[in-house]
Chains A and B, each alone.
Chain A
Amino acid sequence: MSRFFATGSDSDTDSSSEEEIIPRQAAPIYTFSDDEEEVKRVVRSTKEKRYEELTNLIKQIRNFKKIKDMSSMLTSFEDLQRAYMKAIPVVQKEENGQTPRFYVRCLVELEDFIVEMWEDRDGRKNLSKNNSKSLASLRQKLRKYIKDFEEDIAKFRENPDQPDDEEEEDKREPEPDSDSDVPIKAPIKITKPILRDEGESSSDSDDWPSDSESSSGSSEDEEKFTSMRERFLKRTTEKDDDDDKDKDKKKDERRKERKDREKRKLRREDEEDEEGEWETVKGGVAIPSEKPKMFAKDAEIDLNLVVKKLNEIIAARGKKRTDRREQIELLHELAAIADQHNLGSAIVVKIKFAIISAIFDYNPKVSDAMKPEYWTKLIERMSEMLDMLQHHDNILISESVTEETERFDEPPYRIRGCVLTSLERLDDEFTKLLKECDPHSNEYVERLKDESKVFAIINKVQKHLEVFGSQSELCRIYLRKIEHLYYKFDPRVLQFKSGELPPTTITSMQEMERLCKYIYAKDGTDRLRTRAILSHIYHHALHDNWFQARDLVLMSHLQETIQHSDPSTQILYNRTMAHLGLCAFRHANIKDAHNCLVDLMMTGKPKELLAQGLLPQRQHERSKEQEKIEKQRQMPFHMHINLELLECVYLVSAMLIEIPYMAAHEFDARRRMISKTFYQQLRSSERQSLVGPPESMREHVVAAAKAMRNGHWGACNNYIINEKMNTKVWDLFYQADAVRAMLTKLIKEETLRTYLFTYSHVYDSISMSTLADMFELEKAIVHSIISKMIINEELMASLDDPSQTVVMHRSEPSRLQSLALQLADKINNFVDSNERILETKQGNFFLRSANQGGFRGDRQNFRAGNVQDWTRQRRDNRRDY
């Protein structure tokens, strides 16, 4: 507001002498350069001056329009806005609060032009980046701006061809005009609101005749004359300015008045909008068929008429000039009429169907979500329609019915259409809607509440299709249902497994089983089956059915073919593997857990692989389109898998595998890294000069790994299982305590193994009961672990049964010995490769003469060195013994 006032009153009055002297520049015919302007100081009225500024800018905009220079247009438009702001006081005074007509015209033209540009997708694509960006922002700004002028624009559109100078007349009767809006239009009894609420996206639609370009051309001329005439006629003097000052005082009051009026008017318009009774007549060229009203007043409404009308409305669908919003309203009206006159359920269903598709059409862009109010409408219509279908089982609705064979008059009714497709679309829209919301807001929760409604609709459709549908349709609907089921955890399943529930209860597990089996058996396309299998595995894994899940994975052989499937299936596969890994972990199958998760974790971008967010862009790795596509693939938030949990499980499993392995193969040259990611964590912590107490989950795992390496199971356990880790990770498991107990047990066992590997060379013998005490394990378990190690030749020791001790065989090689063994291995490899080389070269004898000599010499040198080394080692070895 401050700016408004600033320009409106203060600056105007104070600096008027300065500003007003600036010569006004009117039509392009009289182009003055700036210098000239300063020389020729002509005194002019504020009105003149402001108007000239405006017209100038408008002219510019027109020019830019012609050459489609969006960025310049944007700046001009901004200037125009500013200029108009300045001009408002004058307008208040001169025009009695009416927006000057030429200004409105400009706005209207601009709007039309932008809409046209916007609709023209191909053209838009061809625009330069700068231009297209400007177009978008211009469109938005204009929309916002235009809201203030709705009334004027509407009026203008009524009668676009009126000469601009009519404003004079308007000015004279502003009050009656604005009020008379109602009475004038009241008699035109029309049942739909066409008042375009510009604030909403309907401004996209193009009601304006496409020849606006040419008409604007002609009006341009008119305007030129206007301004010229002004130029000659209105020579205002200083006096006027004085008057201005006086008037300024009054202005505020008047402005208030005007605003009130506007407000009133707006309110009225809103009412109109809601009641849907009034329409503002648009400039001549609207769709004539739906123009005046539904039916003639006294027409007898019967089925044929309604069908005809319906077809009429539907025919307009998709056409450029059709107002989609209006279509929806029309169809609603039609439905009400059909209902009133008891025309039978079939036609109502048909109309509802049309409404649904109209709502789908409402949103012009596929990637955007629909507006919530339309969404709720959509859900309502859909469930109404399905209810009707359910109550009247003599309605056949299918794609195979052609339009000619549709029958509404008597049962069995036949309607063309596909419930399933609408449902699938609806479901997709729902996902889009969810993705649009901020997942941490209440809005998301509100939207998510609709999930149950969607699910209910799916159930209804399923029931319907189970009666009428074909096998492939059933497969599709089942898959939809599966996709709503598979990620949901049903605690009843676990209760059922432990026998707490009677065997007759149907848990989500049974439901999934039934649906999936049907798809396995009946599906013809591979994709549905693959998705069903993956969802089934996911569901099994979610509910701790490790064996079933594993067997399904193994039997389906999906691992081999998944690369060739579509991205969304691959995402599902990744999600499934993640959950399978978690399930394996809960079942203490650490190796399997590691194997399941390693692919996800190794890349370092599990977030992207699970479609739970995009990685920040690096050097234009993907284009805009790609990013858009990727965005579409993202999972809605409520289906996300906790990444920290995933990573923690992975790291802990890696630790449990890797640390004993490291201890066992300390000096082994052929030691392989099992988990790269884990090593990275270890190394990064080793690089730190000062290691503080662990804070993050990763640091905890690393600290635990270090403790384990030293054979300190208690410390290790405390690092893994403590309050911080509980809240961060472990409490996310359904049976957290069981998981923790399992973890403690595993940590003990693996630490025992690590301990034996690391420290066996300092023991001659060790009592098993001591070990059992040390690691708080049962003796049988210690015995079993040690036996396993002995059998697998990991530990050179044997048990002494009478004394219950482990006797070490001193066979753990010392560092030197193991190095010697390594060397021997290497030499062996070397000799092997030599032999192989000779074998391959045996054939072509002459060719190798060149490198033969060098090769041989090399080898001899090497051999000599090696022999020396070897003898030295032997000496050392002897000393050892």
Chain B
Amino acid sequence: MAKFDLTSRMGQYLDRHLVFPLLEFLSAKEIYDETELLKAKLDILSKTNMVDYAIDIRRQLYPNEEVPEELKQRRVHVVAQLQELQQEVEPIIKVMGNDEVMKNMENMRDSKTLINFLAKDYNFEIDMIESLHKLAKYRYECGNYSVSTSYLYFCMLVLPPNDKNYLSVLWGKLASEILVQNWESALEDLNKLREYIDSSPNHFGGNSLQLLQQRTWLIHWSLFVFFNHAMGRELIIEMFLYRPHYLNAIQTMCPHILRYLATAVIINRGRRSALKDLVKVIQQESYTYKDPITEFLEHLYVNFDFDGARQKLHECQTVLFNDFFLISCLEEFVENARLMIFETFCRIHQCISIGMLAEKLNMNPDEAECWIVNLIRNARLDAKIDSKLGHVVMGAQPLSPYQQLIEKIDSLAVRSETLVGLIDRKLKARNDIRWGTQEF
């Protein structure tokens, strides 16, 4: 199943720390060679400060070898540096310990008054923020995400949005929130970050390439949030499909994101209207990116090839099962995909044999019959089962032209009536005024 695995493609756009969950997941699925994965992990760790973790993995990888001296030294060095940084921002940390002050801070209007307030009462200097930012980064590198979250929160409060560090603070905050799995605030940060990127193109010097890169990163990071937050499925469609900038970014930089978008649309029953737009995008990009999920939609909604769709649905299941983000919605996906096939089928056919339907839905006939009965009972489908022949007969007949005509004209009389009434009233009012002013 390695063919449809996107980890390597996604990895380019993720932070080192964000790749770990993906790798963990992969090693659980055992698609790749375990040692190779470990090596990859080690490689990634080498540039972070998570020395302990690196040592662990080294042990796993080479159980017979001693931990090299270099690593040990590095560990000492990291701890020392951490201490040093900590001392630099002592006053801030003290402030942060004080709940009351924090509450006050949150109520401040803007960063300037806040800085004044802090400088007056707690001998705070603006340079300290720089160090705090550094410390947060350091903590993050060490894998101390929750601590760095709180530091970065403070930074965000204090820093004005046009500060050079502001963007990196935002990114850092998002990453840490994701890593501590605090989805609520992660979503908040995500929105903040998106607004920041979208609203201020001149922060990037008008360099559209850089802007595109930022968006691409954001798209990838947001996947963590969208597939874990309850509201995510709505928002992912909103952001990826209906924001032209992001759709552009997907089309030019990372068409593989279409998989996630497609899945989100499929499992979101309320957003059937998005399907049409999505199918258009998928068709447009079909030459650069294809996987069973996009192909499923293509078969179903472009070619109306139900056999093909069925096959793809089967493949989809394995793909979803092996995807870090999508595994949680596997059940939902299959259910909705079936429903989609069935719906389309019903719209086209007036009489379907249950046997064939069952085949197309990857079910056995009895199960399928049961399923259809349930659908009918829930009043989602106007159909009847002819059990003798084993057919489902659709009930709905399209409107006759006569009905159409009546429907169209129905409201006309009422509308005209109100119009006439309105005009009459106005005319009367005008006449009254005239009489009044002329004063007979």
Contacts and interface: CB of A to CB of B under 8 A. Distances in A.
Interface string A789-802: 01100001011111
A786 B287 CA distance: 26
A620 interface: no
Given A547-B288, A802-B351, A824-B409, A809 B304 contact: no
Given A799-B348, A811-B399, A838-B419, 16 more contacts: A788-B304, A791-B347, A798-B350, A802-B353, A802-B391, A809-B397, A809-B398, A811-B401, A817-B401, A820-B405, A821-B408, A825-B408, A835-B415, A845-B429, A877-B401, A881-B402
Nearest to B286: A547
Interface stretch (B133-141, B176-184, B262-270, B420-428): B420-428
Interface string B352-390: 110010000000000000000000000000000000010
B305 interface: yes
Given A788-B304, A801-B352, A845-B430, A838 B423 contact: yes
B389 to A, nearest CB: 8
B400 interface: yes
Contact of B350 (A555, A807, A835): A807
B332 to A, nearest CB: 24
Given A809-B397, A846-B430, A800 B415 contact: no
Contacts of A425: none
Interface string A353-371: 0000000000000000000
A460 to B, nearest CB: 34
Q: Among the interface residues A783, A798, A810, A881, which one has the most CB atoms of the partner chain B within 10 A? A: A798
A276 B288 CA distance: 67
A828 B288 CA distance: 46
A824 B405 contact: yes
Given A555-B252, A811-B398, A821-B405, A784 B412 contact: no
Nearest to A800: B351
Contacts of B399: 811
A751 to B, nearest CB: 19
Contacts, number: 92
A831 interface: yes
B400 A811 contact: yes
B257 to A, nearest CB: 17
B290 to A, nearest CB: 13
A863 interface: yes
B59 interface: no
Nearest to A812: B401
B351 A845 contact: no
A798 B348 contact: yes
Contacts of A811: 398-401
Contact of B398 (A796, A799, A863): A796
A210 to B, nearest CB: 59
A708 B342 CA distance: 35
B409 A827 contact: yes
A interface majority secondary structure: helix
Contact of A801 (B353, B409, B415, B430): B353
A817 B404 CA distance: 10
Contact of A798 (B353, B356, B394, B422): B394
B303 interface: yes
A835 B419 contact: yes
B349 interface: yes
B278 to A, nearest CB: 16
A694 interface: no
Nearest to A820: B405
A583 to B, nearest CB: 14
Contacts of B288: 547
Contact of B349 (A547, A798, A810, A814): A798
B416 interface: yes
17 contacts: A784-B303, A784-B305, A787-B348, A798-B348, A801-B351, A807-B350, A809-B398, A818-B401, A821-B405, A831-B415, A835-B419, A838-B419, A838-B423, A845-B429, A845-B430, A846-B430, A852-B427
A870 B409 contact: yes
B318 interface: no
A780 interface: yes
Nearest to A811: B398
B344 interface: yes
A817 B402 CA distance: 8
Contacts of A801: 349, 351-353, 356
A849 B430 contact: yes
A46 to B, nearest CB: 90
A818 B401 CA distance: 8
A556 to B, nearest CB: 12
Interface string B186-202: 00000000000000000
Contacts of B427: 852
A669 to B, nearest CB: 14
4 A-B pairs with least C-beta separation: A787-B304, A798-B350, A817-B401, A813-B401
A856 interface: yes
A824 B408 contact: yes
Nearest to B252: A555
A820 B303 CA distance: 35
A846 B429 CA distance: 11
A390 interface: no
Interface in A550-597: 551, 555
Nearest to B427: A852
